[in-house]
Amino acid sequence: MTYGELDQLAINTIRILAVDATSAANSGHPGAPMGMAPFSHVLFNKFMKFNPKNPSWANRDRFVLSNGHGCMLQYALLHLFGYDLTIDDLKTFRKLGSKTPGHPESTDTPGVEVTTGPLGQGFSNAVGLAIAQAHTAAVFNKPGYDLVDNYTYLYFGDGCAMEGISSEAASTAGHLRLGNLIAIYDDNHISIDGDTNCAFTEDVLKRFEAYGWHTLHVKDGDHDLEGIEKAIAEAKTVTDKPSVIKLTTTIGFGSKLEGTGGVHGNPLKADDAKNVKVKFGFDPEKSFDVPSRVYEAYGETASKGAAAEQEWKQLFAKYKGEYPKEAEDFSRRLDGRLPEGWEKHLPTYKSTDAAVASRKLSETVLTKLYPIIPELIGGSADLTGSNLTRAKEAIDFQPPSTKLGDYAGRYIRYGVREHAMAGIMNGLAAYGTIIPYGGTFLNFVSYAAGSVRLSALSHVRCIHVATHDSIGLGEDGPTHQPIETLAHFRALPNCMVWRPADGNEVSAAYYVALTSKQTPSIIALSRQNLPQLENSTIERAIKGGYVAVEAENADITLISTGSEVGICVDAVKYLKDNHNLVARVVSLPCWEVFDTQDREYRLSVIPDGIPVLSVEVMSTLGWEKYSHEQFGLNRFGASGPYKQVYEKFEFTPAGISKRAVATVGFWKEVKPIRSPINKAFIQLI
């Protein structure tokens, strides 16, 4: 295949759109788009399978720009191919309310698969997308029906390569032998601090070889279109390993400052922008000026993509005739519908049932749902036996050659890689046929904070099974005992933090997590046994908060979560017996869900007239929102048997009662005592 003048024109059009958009915004990153334009031209026109008129076609190739600051590259491509992104959208790059924000957001722009920008995230998302493809193919493809055979193409730069999360994800991809993943490393020798020689001198390809990847090098990524095409073609032939193509490019190609840090994160100077246009044969006085021939050529590629989807639809129709059950399941998953009646399989408990650790209760839920919800794909960051995340009959997701499982397997061994696990889960969820959950200790969800944040921002349904959720883990000590973790994620918008107190609450947490298609969840679970509460039901708990112990003419409300709710229940008796005080208890397993209930309900749970004391064995930060006084742990924990640790910090009926007495006394003189539910104004949403 030879390339001609039209190819060069198209490549330069992409470059100039990046120059114009960053100039118009007076902000942004022109350098990477200018360097990566040649590769992108070849990849999108010769290899990638996509239909701009239907960005959600199930078998489309996935494209991930992990170096998301180069998003004008992606926006330019999406525009030229005819996605719903106009030239005016490019003109409003980085402007308020535009479809072209400063970094790619899957919720804002058609054709953007995952939200990237925070470096390394896209890398792990791409691994997730590739796992999802391999799994979906293994489950649904049939002889003669390659229903799912898409590739995932991933761009990453030096910044992504330096981030730990991409090391974790790359090692995982190598282990899993994901032949459907092709990564392109933009080797432009520049990061924000200047030449990568100042901090990044490792041999990147050798590192990827060590992970088990197939490696290639295109030495002249600026000009060698044939070499690029050959490399992609070769990568596609290697089906038992992921491939990485090191693409040596000149950042800001065409600019007076090409090859320097000067073109990385700032628009070109006005005279340089003109210089680039002249150099590329464009009118220096015009902006956003796309040659019609380029639109036509890219339109042809788009038409081929539309035709490919048509063909695929016919294949699917035939498949539906032959495999109606599978076809229905495939469609159901893509629609995000759960199997009819699945919720009837959630376990329920009576207060006479035995005390059980909530991590164990979670295992029961997962085991019950395993045969019912086939799109539920689990895993753990090397803590399977502690997180209890694996249904007994589960098969591991493994390359068949390992003899440890196969690609139809539904349990992923993430290794000790919390951050990549969460990033991979985001990719799994973005693929469309999978609901991922993954386990680690609550304390180590913090390692994954970068990815959890992007789950929330990009509205994907991931479930974090976060066990060993407090000082209740005991002997492992303060290095493993979360204090700040719940406050952290409660402050994160669009992320549900659950801390269930018993079996029904665990079922409720999963019910809401699974039915919230746009929101990730963190379910904090105890290591230690917890009693089943008298008043708990799934129906009550799915409101996020409810009255666990009601009392007439109460003096105080105790409000609590998880393992401390049972202790509060015991404190009710202690308070009556020792202080003649009447207490009621509220269980508040999920703040975010409780906040969405109507005011009347919330006030019935946390009523006016009596003070509220919160009880949770970690940071009190934020509990003022629901209580007048707070009992918590604003310090690190201690290593020892958990009951002794609880005693030490006075999380006992006596310790709670002491503070309840102080609370009642302290609030006597205030009239009226208003429930903290009452606020002067409503926050912006």
Answer yes or no: are the C-beta atoms of 13 and 291 closer than 8 Å: yes
CA dihedral 290, 293, 294, 295 (to 10 degrees): 80
Q: Which does 555 bind (CB under 5 to 8 A by kind): Ca ion, a second copy, none?
A: none
DSSP state letter for 380: E
> What is d(CA 550, CA 570) in angstroms, rounded to the nearest whole number?
13
- Choosing from 1, 96, 143, 553, the residue that interacts with a second copy (CB under 8 A) is 96
Does the footprint of a second copy cover residue 426 (CB under 8 A)? Answer: no
User: Is 468 known as a binding-site position?
Assistant: yes
Question: CB of 42: closest distance to Ca ion in angstroms?
Answer: 43
Q: What is the longest distance spanned by two Cα atoms in the chain?
A: 90
One DSSP character per residue, 583-642 reads EEEEE-S-HHHHHTS-HHHHHHHS-TTS-EEEE-SS--TTGGGT-SEEE---S----S-H
Between 605 and 645, whose beta carbon lies closer to a second copy?
Answer: 645
> What is d(CA 615, CA 654) in angstroms, rounded to the nearest whole number?
13
Answer yes or no: are the C-beta atoms of 618 and 633 closer than 8 Å: yes
> What is d(CA 263, CA 395) in angstroms, rounded to the nearest whole number?
49
Question: CB of 458: closest distance to a second copy in angstroms?
Answer: 9
> What is d(CA 470, CA 443) in angstroms, rounded to the nearest whole number?
8
Question: CB of 523: closest distance to a second copy in angstroms?
Answer: 18
User: In the structure encoding, which two tokens stand for residue 473, read together?
Assistant: 């883990």
Establish whether 311 is a catalytic residue. no
Cβ atoms < 10 Å from Cβ of 469 = 31
Binding to a second copy in span 476-535, by CB under 8 A: 476-480, 483-484, 487-494
Q: Sign (positive/negative) of CA torsion 327, 329, 332, 336?
A: negative
Between 293 and 643, whose beta carbon lies closer to a second copy?
Answer: 643
User: Is 504 known as a binding-site position?
Assistant: no
Region near a second copy per CB under 8 A, out of 268-276, 323-331, 429-437, 473-481: 473-481
Does the footprint of a second copy cover residue 609 (CB under 8 A)? Answer: no
Q: Which does 299 bind (CB under 5 to 8 A by kind): Ca ion, a second copy, none?
A: none
Identified catalytic residue from 229, 309, 418, 592: 418
User: In the structure encoding, which two tokens stand for residue 276, read together?
Assistant: 């680039």
Answer yes or no: are the C-beta atoms of 104 and 112 closer than 8 Å: yes
User: Is 359 known as a binding-site position?
Assistant: yes
> What is d(CA 327, CA 163) in angstroms, rounded to the nearest whole number?
40
> What is d(CA 61, CA 49) in angstroms, rounded to the nearest whole number?
5
Answer yes or no: are the C-beta atoms of 405 and 397 closer than 8 Å: yes
> Binding string to a second copy for residues 439 to 468, with x set by CB under 8 A, is what?
----xx-xx-xx--xx-xx-----------
> What is d(CA 225, CA 7) in angstroms, rounded to the nearest whole number?
9
Between 413 and 490, whose beta carbon lies closer to Ca ion?
Answer: 490
Between 433 and 485, whose beta carbon lies closer to a second copy?
Answer: 485
Residue ranges in contact with Ca ion by CB under 5 A = 490, 492, 495
Region near a second copy per CB under 8 A, out of 333-341, 364-372, 415-423, 561-569: 415-423
Binding to a second copy in span 157-216, by CB under 8 A: 158-160, 162-168, 171-172, 174-175, 191-193, 197-204, 206-207, 209-212
Answer yes or no: are the C-beta atoms of 506 and 368 closer than 8 Å: no
| Phi-psi map region of 436: left, alpha, beta (phi>0 left; psi -120 to 50 alpha) | beta
Question: CB of 416: closest distance to a second copy in angstroms?
Answer: 4
Between 461 and 658, whose beta carbon lies closer to Ca ion?
Answer: 461
Question: CB of 26: closest distance to a second copy in angstroms?
Answer: 8
Between 490 and 543, whose beta carbon lies closer to Ca ion?
Answer: 490
Does the footprint of a second copy cover residue 628 (CB under 8 A)? Answer: yes
Q: Which does 635 bind (CB under 5 to 8 A by kind): a second copy, Ca ion, none?
A: a second copy
The one-letter amino acid code at 125 reads: N
Question: CB of 318: closest distance to a second copy in angstroms?
Answer: 38
DSSP state letter for 268: P
Binding to a second copy in span 385-414, by CB under 8 A: 385-386, 396, 398, 402, 404, 413-414
Q: Which does 105 bind (CB under 5 to 8 A by kind): a second copy, Ca ion, none?
A: a second copy
Does the footprint of a second copy cover residue 117 (CB under 8 A)? Answer: yes
Between 137 and 160, whose beta carbon lies closer to a second copy?
Answer: 160
User: Is 464 known as a binding-site position?
Assistant: no
In which residue are the tokens 């039915």 written? Answer: 515
Between 40 and 614, whose beta carbon lies closer to Ca ion?
Answer: 614
Does the footprint of a second copy cover residue 684 (CB under 8 A)? Answer: yes
Between 61 and 163, whose beta carbon lies closer to a second copy?
Answer: 163
Nearest to 381 by CA among 422, 353, 334, 349: 422
> Binding string to a second copy for residues 42 to 71, with x set by CB under 8 A, is what?
--------------------------x---
Cβ atoms < 10 Å from Cβ of 173 = 31
User: Is 264 known as a binding-site position?
Assistant: yes
Q: Which does 200 bind (CB under 5 to 8 A by kind): a second copy, Ca ion, none?
A: a second copy
Q: How many residues bind a second copy (CB under 8 A)?
A: 138
User: In the structure encoding, which two tokens stand for residue 118, read together?
Assistant: 């925070």
Binding to a second copy in span 222-261, by CB under 8 A: none
Buried-state track 591-622, b at ≥16 Cβ within 10 A, e below 16: bbbbeebeeeebeebbbeebbbbbbbbbbbbb
Does the footprint of a second copy cover residue 438 (CB under 8 A)? Answer: no
User: In the structure encoding, which two tokens stand for residue 82, read together?
Assistant: 């005819």
Looking only at the bridges linking them, the beta strands covering 583-587 and 556-560 are parallel
Binding residues for substrate: 29, 264, 359, 386, 468, 476, 480, 527
Binding residues: 29, 69, 117-119, 158-159, 188, 190, 264, 359, 386, 444, 468, 476, 480, 527
